[in-house]
Amino acid sequence: MQPAVKQGLILGAVAGAFIGVALWLYTDVIGCLLLIPFTAVMGAAPQFLKPADMDDEDD
pLDDT in tens, 1-59: 788 889 999 999 999 999 999 999 999 999 999 999 999 999 999 888 877 676 666 54
Q: CA-CA distance, 6 to 33, in Å (whole number)? A: 20
pLDDT of residue 43: 92
In this prediction the pTM is 0.78
Q: CA-CA distance, 11 to 38, in Å (whole number)? A: 12
Angle of helix 3-27 versus helix 35-49 axis, rounded to 10: 150
pLDDT of residue 19: 95
Burial class (CB in 10 A: 0-12, 13-18, 19+), 44: buried
> What contacts 4, CB < 8 A, 6 or more positions away?
47, 56
